[in-house]
Structure 1
């Protein structure tokens, strides 16, 4: 008879060892399942740990990588009288029958050696997952769960993880020492897992599954990043200093892929940093596929806001693209300032941080008038009820520019508690929206992102202009190179703005004057 223990297994508790040890030595004698029915005494051949979400690491839900979880289990099992087997069960999204997927994965991974059935396996599970195993006919032992009182009577492993996350010196916390099995304590201490978990679980930016936003369509996003990668590299390549080159917010690794093909950089080491689990997985897959010409390419899933992601004073070049506005959007101004300071600390003397991103207009605080075309689409088209991402994009695409602005005013940073200040005014028979130049440009430069509308509505583009950036960089100790520049995307002006919107400046004679469309992007070279 096998004992199957499914779970994430970030650590194992002292209770779990004593419980397993008793089951093995007493051969299930006197044990009752979740229904209170005694089990027939049987010899235990082995314990099988099904480690779920084995393909996840560095997230709030799964902070510990699979290899460390496996090491903990093997160390934990050394004192058991039977062998322990560890199988990784990858997270592949929503599965209606997770036990069947788990059993099949174990059978496949063991090449048929462990074909688990209700006849040869007893499941140990105290969470709601036990109901699914019961439906398959497995007997389930409750472990920490007391079916009589309908409550947990022993600490769950994740309870101990959360306790560690909130503790100061967790290695000397008496409750943790009482509850955490010595094998877990040994591996967590040896590999500094406790400090990493504290860092991840306290992170204000990363979501439960390691993403900034739950509303991003990654298929669309990756295609967009790949499509523009060559242009981004052309713009930044002249300023790259050979040596250690880091790309923070590397997305799918597209910029690094092109940089690896640059003959000037063939002896360089490349380091890609990505906070999103989805994108990090894509980077690893691309490396596995051999898509990078340089073998010295390394990827890590880290948050560059809350700490250094490279060794202090080690980087010759750091590259970021379309990232800093996301830090301001999903974090805070303090997070952005911390990010800038971290980059300063990571650069070697004379090293350069190349930052390509959107930027606000110089006159961002000026109150202006915004003319919006109301004849280029529908004005009273009702929004579909609970639309899909594709359905919402289709609906947005049918709206007039004026109707699109009205929807934008409702959605823009709504979840952050922001209400777009604006009012409608009529001058000489024409209607204008009166608002700040900054908020007008927020609409201008994201109004066409229909495919990722809900995600884009979290993001602010125009919070700082060039001089704001210059001041912030200098305060952190960086020098802004004179080659730094801002520019206006003429393609956007011609294809998305002209004839649809017009910026106007109020005048005393009631005849507003047109304002040229402002800069929208920047390329900053900040040197240490």
Structure 2
């Protein structure tokens, strides 16, 4: 009765049309579209509803009777075949029950085929080794090779052309920042990040709200949409368009979820999952206010190629989409005014363990517990090890008398401002907080064409200094005189002239 055809089905091929029409007979083809809840990632660039549309057009064109069921992405599991069969039952209101007696499985992936065979299903191959498989065709699209149109079925070509999915695929697959599954790093705990963004939203909004202009308001790196919720609640912006852009799939999903729950009163709230380092998202001079909150250090940290050039390209793009008299508001961390000043750093070694060597955290079951149990001094050496390889920075230091560490002030602050981020240690060590100082960020804005508002300033988070850093660390100059704790954050208000 059924021919089960599991796969991601981003691209349908002419060969699949020949094969299925010759093989299916009077069977119904059940298209189990896996990773249906993923899109705009390297591994799953095409949204499920576009995949479904192409399959339906394919079925009409070939005369196949088809059922299309989305299957939620699951981690690698030996129960994949069973999970897929159950998802089909749920997706058809239990009207379609597949079993080895009524179903043949079409699958060319040996590892997956074995899982169905273990359940008793007969499995037949699909694409032979000498044929381009659907993923090969998708990689041709990503590479800009127009030969894909000769291999893809006209149903896929039509859907791709109408919705410009070829450009979308190129942007996703070639993205230098986002990983296979839509995250910035594979070790990031997005639950922790989401909670932190929600907690900090009120404080950040209080800092920037007086500078926001009504109109089209864009929050880049909007995380869970918490700041846009506060904009939405402000009567000054009831007639504004509120636009959020978030690159991380996990956070973008939360934004969409909030909108679906009706947590925004303004009907003109829109979310995009996009990396703003790619092609332009918004037309020139179309945005009145752009917010970047805790974002620009990530642009610097995850830059492809030259970091200064990437940051300048990003800010140039902000200037291009900013309307005359519009504003870019940047609230983020920054480096000290004298980044290259040499200092001596003394760290507490009595507040935790002091192992003889650094650990390979990826091999540990609980890296957070291990790092959390280290002394501040031991945590420094672990940070140096992980920061060098993850952020690709030099981070040079020398040990002197009394165990004092000699290093650049910017490097000292990169450690001190991050040493307590144990829950996301491996992810955080990909990022450099002190890559640029406030004056350098202001210069980037001015080079793009912005005028820096006098209200812009660098500032120091004294709570973090008093409660997190000063109790376990001391900074002195090489001659032994005390060094004042430097600025840790910035508020940059950049306006586009009329």
TM (norm. structure 2) is 0.95
Question: How far apart are residue 383 of structure 1 and its match?
Answer: 6.7
Q: Contact 1:122/1:139 (CA < 8 Å) preserved in 2?
A: yes
Change (3 A) 1:462 1:385: closer
Find the partner of 2:444 among 460, 472, 496.
472
Change (3 A) 1:389 1:494: farther
Whole-Å separation in 1 of the counterparts to 2:482 and 2:90: 68
Runs of 4+ in 1 over 6 A off after TM superposition: 381-385, 387-390
Where 1:122 maps in the other structure, the secondary structure is strand
Change (3 A) 1:197 1:387: closer
Q: Does 1:250 align with 2:232?
A: no
* Root mean square deviation, CA, Å: 1.8
Cα displacement string for residues 476-511 of structure 1 (whole angstroms, at most 9, x for unaligned residues): 11111111111101101110122311111123xxxx
Where 1:495 maps in the other structure, the secondary structure is helix
Cα displacement string for residues 371-391 of structure 1 (whole angstroms, at most 9, x for unaligned residues): 222333333377777678883
Where 1:129 maps in the other structure, the secondary structure is helix
Find the partner of 2:80 among 82, 98, 107.
98
Where 1:299 maps in the other structure, the secondary structure is strand
Q: Contact 1:275/1:302 (CA < 8 Å) preserved in 2?
A: yes
Aligned residues: 492
Q: Does 1:137 align with 2:120?
A: yes
Q: Contact 2:359/2:382 (CA < 8 Å) preserved in 1?
A: no
Q: Contact 1:372/1:500 (CA < 8 Å) preserved in 2?
A: yes
Aligned to 1:331: 303
Cα displacement string for residues 13-63 of structure 1 (whole angstroms, at most 9, x for unaligned residues): 000001111124xx3xxxxxxxxxxxxxxxx24211111111111111111
Where 2:233 maps in the other structure, the secondary structure is coil
Give the unaligned 5+ runs of structure 2: none
Q: Does 1:229 align with 2:212?
A: no
Find the partner of 1:123 among 84, 105, 116.
105
Where 2:352 maps in the other structure, the secondary structure is coil
Q: Contact 1:413/1:459 (CA < 8 Å) preserved in 2?
A: no
Q: Does 1:196 align with 2:173?
A: no
Q: Contact 1:308/1:343 (CA < 8 Å) preserved in 2?
A: no
Question: How far apart are residue 416 of structure 1 and its match?
Answer: 4.3
Give the unaligned 5+ runs of structure 1: 28-43, 146-151
Aligned to 2:487: 519
Q: Contact 2:336/2:488 (CA < 8 Å) preserved in 1?
A: yes
Deviates more, 1:377-386 or 1:181-190: 377-386
Q: Does 1:60 align with 2:60?
A: no
Cα displacement string for residues 432-459 of structure 1 (whole angstroms, at most 9, x for unaligned residues): 1111111011111111111111111111
Whole-Å separation in 1 of the counterparts to 2:420 and 2:437: 22
Aligned to 2:351: 376
TM (norm. structure 1) is 0.90
Where 2:3 maps in the other structure, the secondary structure is strand
Where 1:216 maps in the other structure, the secondary structure is coil
Instruction: Give 1 or 2: higher helix fraction.
Output: 2
Over alpha carbons, which structure has the higher Rg? 1
Change (3 A) 1:389 1:481: farther
Question: How far apart are residue 361 of structure 1 and its match?
Answer: 0.5
Aligned to 1:37: none
Whole-Å separation in 2 of the counterparts to 1:377 and 1:182: 64
Deviates more, 1:318-327 or 1:302-311: 302-311
Aligned to 2:374: 399
Q: Does 1:304 align with 2:281?
A: no
Deviates more, 1:391-400 or 1:295-304: 391-400
Q: Contact 1:307/1:342 (CA < 8 Å) preserved in 2?
A: no
